């Protein structure tokens, strides 16, 4: 049981592979086929490609502010593989890759960052809440949904996400407290990427880590190397099983690093050093999984490299394969972005329409006021 073996009060961190991609805790290695591991790498590579292109679209002036997931791909690929169709994804705003795994389309995600309300109207995704920018509020929704799940005895687990900074919000404590009191099925993830915009995690808490907060609420908690795909996968497997068996909530701290800016509106060179950023390069989640695959002869494409070629050949094959994959991913991302870019412009009504089945008077008043403002603006031209 990983929750007993890696006690957060002792500040232990759960890892399966080291920075060189070598297995260091074989007893915990999850059973995954070469095909599943290859697929995980490809998922991370697709997410990285889409993420870099999202930043590029913003820089080209074709999209508004976007929060990159660069460096956090292993957490999201692992969560995406464990979360089931009927389970609930309750995102904050830095969960693009998990949203894709749950069936949200990239076009929908891009629409959101183009300010279009249709970007929260997921056509094919099941049990996914909209992106949530008000820090922490989504955790209360998660606990509430899990209350309903337990009440109606459904086989569903709720997966909310929050950042390290978000743990300083009252909503964090309220949501964890009642999830534990009610023993409802929630797997809380803190993506501890070390920063809340410019504020380092050391200024959020005096606790030895974030996972230890689980102790006070009375639930299992574990600090996991968030850049280790296998550790994240194993942690999610065990946490989801725990919650699904009716044992209550779990807190996972995924210890990682935000390699990019907070959002495209931020400049991290103002508050952190190049040396610090560089020190995380060797811990890159894609690099570590790639090294593991190289040691074990799992090729990037569907034929396994083991024994078939000289080392150099495998490496060359990998690089050529990766370049080709990235090219095909870029085409796919571009296709989905253009679908968002050429989507119908949103109507004024959309901004007010989706909150209630019947618009309350106060909202109707705001809508009238806004229409009035637009008329005034038009007349001023
Ligand atoms: C209630 C609230 N307060 C402040 C903000 C402004 N804000 C947006 S993101 C952010 C920092 C969040 O940091 P963290 O929780 O670590 O998540 P990360 O951005 O690192 O993923 C802040 C303060 C907000 N969106 N909502
Ligand atoms: Mg953060």
Reported as a single tens digit per residue, the pLDDT across 17-68 is: 999 999 999 999 999 999 999 999 999 999 999 999 999 999 999 999 999 9
Cα–Cα distance, 266 to 67 (Å, whole number): 10
Which residue owns the Cα nearest ligand 1 atom 20?
196
Angle between helices 229-244 and 73-82 (to 10 degrees): 40
Provide the pLDDT for residue 317.
81
Cα–Cα distance, 243 to 235 (Å, whole number): 12
Terminal alpha carbon distance of the chain: 68
CATH 3.40.50.970 fits 2-341, yes or no: yes
Which residue owns the Cα nearest ligand 1 atom 25?
134
Atom of ligand 1 nearest to the CA of 263: 19
How far away, in angstroms, is 42 Cα from ligand 1 center? 29
pTM: 0.95
Cβ neighbours for 338, distance < 8 A, ≥ 6 positions apart: none
Is ligand 1 within 6 A of the CB of residue 164?
yes
Atom of ligand 1 nearest to the CA of 193: 20
Q: Could you give the C-alpha distances from 6 to 11, 164, 217, 257, in angstroms and in order?
A: 8, 20, 17, 21
Lowest mean per-residue pLDDT among 127-141, 196-210, 338-352: 338-352
The 10s digit of each residue's pLDDT in 273-327 is 999 999 999 999 999 999 999 999 999 987 654 445 555 566 778 878 999 999 9
DSSP secondary-structure letter at 128? B
Is a pLDDT exceeding 90 seen at residue 180? yes
Active site residues: 258, 262, 271
Cα–Cα distance, 88 to 240 (Å, whole number): 12
328 torsion bin: left (phi>0), alpha (psi -120 to 50), beta (else) = alpha
Cα–Cα distance, 312 to 295 (Å, whole number): 13
How far away, in angstroms, is 165 Cα from ligand 2 center? 5
Residue to substitute in 134, 135, 257 for testing ligand 1 pocket (most ligand atoms within 8 angstroms of CB): 135
Question: Once rounded to an integer, what is the mean pLDDT over residues 206-230?
Answer: 98
Token duo for residue 132: 């949530």
The 10s digit of each residue's pLDDT in 261-277 is 999 999 999 999 999 99
Is a pLDDT exceeding 60 seen at residue 246? yes
Do residues 254 and 190 make contact, with C-beta atoms less than 8 angstroms apart? yes
Token duo for residue 38: 């290859």
The 10s digit of each residue's pLDDT in 332-369 is 999 999 999 999 998 888 889 888 999 999 999 999 99
Cβ neighbours for 263, distance < 8 A, ≥ 6 positions apart: 65, 66, 67, 68
């Amino acid at each position: 049981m990983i929750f007993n073996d890696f006690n957060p009060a002792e500040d232990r961190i759960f890892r399966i592979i080291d920075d060189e991609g070598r297995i260091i805790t074989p007893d915990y290695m999850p059973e995954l086929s070469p095909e599943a591991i290859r697929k995980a790498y490809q998922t991370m590579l697709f997410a990285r490609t889409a993420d870099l292109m999202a930043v590029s679209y913003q820089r080209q002036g074709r999209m508004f502010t976007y929060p990159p997931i660069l460096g956090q791909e292993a957490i999201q690929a692992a969560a995406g593989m464990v979360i089931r169709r009927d389970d609930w994804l309750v995102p904050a705003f830095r969960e693009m890759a998990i949203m894709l795994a749950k069936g949200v389309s990239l076009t929908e995600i891009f629409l959101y960052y183009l300010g279009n309300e249709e970007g929260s109207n997921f056509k094919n995704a099941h049990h996914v809440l909209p992106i949530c920018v008000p820090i922490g509020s989504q955790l209360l929704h998660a606990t509430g949904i899990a209350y309903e799940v337990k009440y109606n005895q459904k086989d569903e687990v709720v997966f909310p996400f929050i950042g390290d900074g978000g743990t300083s919000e009252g909503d964090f404590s309220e949501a964890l407290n009642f999830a534990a009191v009610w023993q409802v099925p929630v797997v809380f993830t803190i993506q501890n990427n070390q920063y809340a915009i410019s504020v380092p995690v050391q200024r959020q808490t005096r606790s030895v880590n974030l996972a230890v907060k689980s102790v006070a609420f009375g639930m299992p908690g574990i600090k996991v190397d968030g850049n280790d795909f296998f550790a994240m996968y194993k942690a999610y497997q065990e946490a989801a099983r725990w919650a699904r068996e009716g044992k209550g909530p779990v807190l996972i701290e995924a210890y990682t690093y935000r390699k990019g800016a907070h959002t495209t509106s931020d400049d991290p060179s103002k508050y952190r050093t190049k040396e610090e950023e560089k020190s995380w390069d060797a811990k890159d989640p894609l690099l570590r999984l790639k090294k593991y695959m190289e040691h074990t002869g799992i090729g990037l494409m569907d034929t396994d490299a083991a024994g078939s070629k000289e080392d150099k050949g495998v490496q060359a094959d990998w690089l050529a394969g990766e370049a080709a994959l990235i090219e095909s991913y870029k085409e796919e991302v571009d296709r989905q972005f253009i679908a968002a870019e050429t989507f119908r412009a949103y109507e004024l009504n959309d901004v007010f329409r989706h909150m209630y089945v019947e618009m309350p008077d106060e909202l109707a008043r705001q809508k009238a006021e806004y229409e009035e403002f637009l008329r005034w603006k038009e007349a001023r031209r």
